[in-house]
């Protein structure tokens, strides 16, 4: 059973050791190309607070057919390597929320050791408020992301 598939993308490569042109806390190998504004806002928030992040670095296999071919997979939007946490950002469109909730449940069932959270737009806004209000405190970032 295949655990994860390598990420493939046509995004512009970032040379090893080089900083991404736009994002100071980005730790991936290819510059991100966000699907929606909520993903960009989440990246801006992570970047502003210096939280290391990668964009869609891993695809998790959720189901395979009888021949072992991947029939369903899930690629969370962000990975925070210092927290070992995957984040999936969703808009408020109900059909997307239902689909992503189902995929997150499947991922947790198939890979119980993978730490994943589903963030709604309101969660991103609330996180930004928490981080701003606690910027001077010593509260660890992982506690803020835990809710």
Under DSSP, the state recorded for 61 is E
| φ/ψ of residue 63, rounded to 5 | -145, 150
Distance CA 16, CA 68 (A): 34
Distance CA 70, CA 28 (A): 24
| Chain segment 11-34, per-residue pLDDT in tens | 444 444 444 567 878 887 788 889
- Predicted confidence at residue 70, as pLDDT, reads 96
Distance CA 74, CA 127 (A): 24
More confident residue, 137 or 36: 36
Distance CA 112, CA 147 (A): 20
Is the Cα torsion angle 120, 99, 34, 76 positive or negative in sign?
Answer: positive
* CATH for 20-145, options being 3.40.960, 3.90.1720, 1.10.1760, 3.10.20: 3.40.960
Query: First and final CA of the chain: distance in angstroms?
Result: 33
pTM for this prediction? 0.72
pLDDT over 90 (residue 49):
no
| Chain segment 59-110, per-residue pLDDT in tens | 999 999 999 999 999 999 999 999 999 999 987 677 778 889 999 999 999 9
């Amino acid at each position: 059973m295949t655990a994860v598939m390598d990420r493939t993308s046509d995004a512009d490569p970032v040379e090893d050791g080089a900083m991404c042109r736009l994002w100071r806390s980005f730790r991936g190998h290819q510059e991100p190309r966000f699907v929606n504004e909520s993903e960009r806002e989440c990246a801006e928030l992570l970047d502003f607070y210096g939280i290391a992040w990668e964009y869609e670095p891993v695809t998790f296999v959720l189901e395979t057919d009888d021949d072992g071919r991947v029939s369903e997979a899930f690629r969370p939007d962000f990975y925070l390597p210092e927290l070992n946490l995957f984040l999936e950002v969703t808009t408020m469109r109900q059909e997307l929320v239902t689909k992503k909730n189902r995929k997150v449940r499947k991922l947790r069932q198939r890979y119980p050791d993978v730490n994943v959270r589903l963030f709604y737009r309101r969660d991103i806004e609330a996180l930004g408020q928490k981080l701003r209000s606690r910027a001077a405190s010593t509260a660890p970032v992982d506690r803020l992301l835990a809710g």
